[in-house]
Chains A and B, each alone.
Chain A
Amino acid sequence: MNKTENTQIKQNEEKAEERDLKELLRSRIKDIDSIPTIPAILRPLLHYMEQTVDQIEVQKIVELVSCDESITAQCLHMANSPLFGRTHEVDTVRGAVIALGVRKLRDILLSCLLVRLAPKERWAMDPVIFWQHSFGCALVSRQFARKINYHDPERAYLAGLLHDLGEVVNCIFLPEEFRATVEKACTEQLPFFEAEQATLGLTHCDSGKMLAQHWGLAEELTSVIFYHHDVEQAKLHPVLVAIVSLSDTLCRMRGLGYGFYEPKQTDFLDDPAWRILTREYPHMAEFDLARFTFELDEYTLQVRELVSSIFSKGS
């Protein structure tokens, strides 16, 4: 057998392995609803809150949330954080709705729901770092969306929060394999999706999409989850994908990244996502990115504080 044939066989084997891993993941994801650590109200609440704000009824939220004590507690903890601009202490979910409004409460609830997704032990990633990144990306996406007059900043928040959902999937369903990925990423200071490609042959974009489809998440969220590292390929909702993708990079450049120094230089004007937005919003040409960057630093500290306090409470 000659050398080319040999490599051919090897490549085929690798392809088969990749397929197997994808199949394996797909079959494991089906079991997600029976995992005891994942709160039962997650799915109904997520679906309920995917609606536009004016369709959401306060009473219904209060009912859903009150079913789960620890979510209630965590939600109040967040509602009292300065990040949500609270003006006085709130101690009930209803009080929080009144003080903050449905919109903010929805953000808070979704954030704590997702934090609950993380298995408490044996997580390949540091959950604090992961949630700081996701939460930071949500806030930055919303702020960015507002700045450029994107019509639905709340959508951007949700999309930012969920964009790396696939990392959670990898942690839960491929715990051993993913541990090797994380190690490679940290030692070689690689972006996760590159390390995933090298070690798993699939990325968190693939696994995130599987869960998004299993849960029946909205099309634009699925698009963000799947394309945020390959924006040019996004046929559906490219603007939202671009907003989240840029926010993701900004977070990584401003201390809410993977938890290690990524030795790289980013010229946002060269980023395909930036080009997509410039096409859509001509006023992007005047965007003051330097100032926006400084403004975001305001969040960094508060996001850090909030997420670590959530975790140190052991909830």
Chain B
Amino acid sequence: MPCRLRRRWLLRVSDGIDGPLLGSKGAPQLTHGELRMRTETAVPAENWRRLGKAPDPYLQRIRDVVYQVAGIFQSDENLPFLEECARKRMQAVDANSLRQYYDRLTVRRDREAELHRLVGEMNLGETCFFRNPLQLEALRRVVLPAICQDKNRPPCHHVRVWSAGCATGEEPYSLAMSLMETMEAEETLQEWTFEVLATDWNNGFLEKAKEGIYSLHALRHVPPSLQQKCFRPCRDQFQVTDEVKAMVSFHPLNLLEEHSVSWAKDMDAIFCCNVLIHFDGSAQRQTIQRFHDSLLPNGYLFVGNSESLYGVSDNFRLVHFPGSTAYRKVCLQSPAAGVI
């Protein structure tokens, strides 16, 4: 049954290749400058403890609100970076101390908007290939074998992964490369097929993604063997090979529009990294519920490094892999669910 559904889905996707499947109204058109690169981790100027200085208690509280509302955690080590961002916002809103700014984030009516401006200041927008290598390692070495084992009975040798909020394509292409590499290394996977659906609401990003041309800097975390195999030089930059491109299809999609995701069904895994942090609580909950609907039983939802779904949904369970985590769909109809 799932296989038939899948084919129908595939048809729809290929139908839509030339034009946008769904409208992308409401998407902000970011300028090219906003695509600017940033080193991926928020590198702290210095470590608090090394300085022997305790962090400001209000900074810690700000960290906690950011975590509660946006779902992204800044470790103690990252607190100096958080402070830097907060200070920039403090200037803008005329707050004189972290304490005052904390009040801004918690008391004022526009507190949530300000919080998202702060998150925006953290500039998590920069993306790159293999942004979270251990997450890809988990996909290859733990998740994929588990999925394939499940799918052997009854046999359905097709795996599909969705990159939701794919930006300029680095993430879905990294997924495709990882899957391709696994497929080639594992004899038992020879007859399997893999596909990656990639969506974003920003058409400019999608155009760039389809073109697939990147600077050397974006490739810095790509393992050398894959750099060789999956890219070819293109002027002074690098273009993703057609073989990799063939595994990925790009489509405009606004995650906040209910009808827009209803056709993305039967996913084995969804990657939605560094996107949900920009949504408010109810939007997060709705999106997660839709992801739940889109996933096959036992499917996996991966979110960004130091993002958390705590308190957002009871329909997913946190699972740990070496160096990364994901959320596994809980199936209410399964007998195990009675225990939970």
Interface residues of A (CB under 8 A from B): 82-83, 85-88, 249-250, 252-255, 257, 261-269, 288-291, 293-295, 297-298, 301-302
B76 neighbours in A (Cβ, 8 Å) = 295, 298
Cβ B322 vs Cβ A257 within 8 A: yes
Cβ A265 vs Cβ B319 within 8 A: yes
Cβ B320 vs Cβ A253 within 8 A: yes
Given known pairs A85-B49, A293-B325, A298-B75, the reply for A266 and B137 (CB within 8 Å) is no
Instruction: Tell me the chain B residues, 119-147 only, with Cβ under 8 Å from chain A.
Output: 137-138, 141-143, 145-146
Can you name 8 extra interface pairs (CB under 8 A) apart from A269-B318, A298-B75? A250-B320, A252-B322, A264-B142, A266-B319, A289-B318, A290-B325, A291-B67, A295-B75
Task: Show 29 residue pairs from A and B whose CB-CB distance is below 8 angstroms, ordered by the A residue.
Answer: A82-B50, A82-B52, A87-B52, A88-B52, A249-B320, A253-B320, A255-B322, A255-B323, A261-B137, A264-B142, A265-B142, A265-B146, A265-B319, A266-B321, A267-B317, A267-B319, A267-B328, A268-B318, A269-B340, A290-B73, A290-B309, A290-B310, A290-B325, A291-B308, A293-B320, A294-B73, A297-B75, A298-B76, A298-B77
Name the residue of chain B whose CB is nearest to the CB of A89.
B52
Bound complex: CA A89 to CA B308 (Å): 38
B322 neighbours in A (Cβ, 8 Å) = 252-253, 255, 257, 261-264
Bound complex: CA A308 to CA B321 (Å): 25
B143 neighbours in A (Cβ, 8 Å) = 265
Q: Is B306 an interface residue, CB under 8 A from the partner?
A: yes
Bound complex: CA A290 to CA B306 (Å): 8
Instruction: Tell me the chain B residues, 72-122 only, with Cβ under 8 Å from chain A.
Output: 73, 75-77
Per-residue 0/1 for B142-165: is the Cβ within 8 Å of any A Cβ (1 yes, 0 no)? Answer: 110110000000000000000000
A262 neighbours in B (Cβ, 8 Å) = 322
Q: Is B262 an interface residue, CB under 8 A from the partner?
A: no
Q: Which of A82, A252, A265, A293 has the most CB of B within 10 A?
A: A265
Bound complex: CA A249 to CA B320 (Å): 10
A88 neighbours in B (Cβ, 8 Å) = 52
Cβ B308 vs Cβ A290 within 8 A: yes
Bound complex: CA A267 to CA B329 (Å): 12
Q: Closest Cβ of chain B: how far from A77's Cβ, in Å?
A: 15
Q: Is B47 an interface residue, CB under 8 A from the partner?
A: yes
A83 neighbours in B (Cβ, 8 Å) = 49
Q: Closest Cβ of chain B: how far from A191's Cβ, in Å?
A: 12
Bound complex: CA A254 to CA B138 (Å): 13
Bound complex: CA A58 to CA B318 (Å): 45
B146 neighbours in A (Cβ, 8 Å) = 265
- Report the interface size class on chain B: 20 to 34
Q: Closest Cβ of chain A: how far from B178's Cβ, in Å?
A: 14
A295 neighbours in B (Cβ, 8 Å) = 73, 75-76
Bound complex: CA A294 to CA B78 (Å): 11
Bound complex: CA A125 to CA B322 (Å): 20
Given known pairs A262-B322, A263-B141, the reply for A294 and B52 (CB within 8 Å) is no
A298 neighbours in B (Cβ, 8 Å) = 75-77
A250 neighbours in B (Cβ, 8 Å) = 320
Partner of A294, one of B49, B308, B340: B308
A257 neighbours in B (Cβ, 8 Å) = 322
Cβ B321 vs Cβ A253 within 8 A: yes
Cβ B75 vs Cβ A268 within 8 A: no
Name the residue of chain B whose CB is nearest to the CB of A266.
B320
Bound complex: CA A82 to CA B281 (Å): 37
Instruction: Tell me the chain B residues, 39-61 only, with Cβ under 8 Å from chain A.
Output: 47, 49-50, 52
Q: Closest Cβ of chain B: how far from A270's Cβ, in Å?
A: 9
A86 neighbours in B (Cβ, 8 Å) = 52
Q: Closest Cβ of chain B: how far from A115's Cβ, in Å?
A: 22
Cβ A291 vs Cβ B310 within 8 A: yes
Bound complex: CA A268 to CA B325 (Å): 12
Name the residue of chain B whose CB is nearest to the CB of A189.
B141
Q: Which of A83, A294, A295, A302 has the most CB of B within 10 A?
A: A294
Bound complex: CA A263 to CA B324 (Å): 12
Partner of A253, one of B50, B52, B323: B323
Name the residue of chain A whose CB is nearest to the CB of B340.
A269
Bound complex: CA A268 to CA B138 (Å): 17
B317 neighbours in A (Cβ, 8 Å) = 267, 269
A249 neighbours in B (Cβ, 8 Å) = 320
B77 neighbours in A (Cβ, 8 Å) = 298, 301
Partner of B142, one of A263, A268, A288, A291: A263
